[in-house]
Amino acid sequence: MSVDDAVRRALLEQPDLVERTRRRVPKAWGQLAANGVVTFRRIAGRAPTDAERRAIWDGLWRAATDDPERLR
């Protein structure tokens, strides 16, 4: 289980949150970030380390705010 796997899965499972984050809808980013951490926990069977959690947030933020074609 990797951070990248959790990021990919969270993005695929929550396209509405990705779009709302892209449009800067209030609270959307927090929901997406939390979902990324929960996805990691579900897949890995453990909580992410601080470094993993930050990497999850970074991956989600970059994917949600960069070029939308990157998500395909």
Distance from C-alpha of 54 to C-alpha of 3, rounded to nearest angstrom:
10
pLDDT band at 25 (very low <50, low <70, confident <90, very high): very high
Domain containing residue 29: 3-71
The predicted-structure confidence for 36-58, as pLDDT tens digits, reads as follows: 999 999 999 999 999 999 999 99
From residue 52, how far is each of 4, 40, 48, 55, 62 by CA, in Å?
A: 10, 9, 5, 5, 15
Q: Which amino acid is at 59?
A: G
Total domains in the chain come to: 1
8 burial type by CB count under 10 A (0-12 exposed, 13-18 middle, 19+ buried): middle
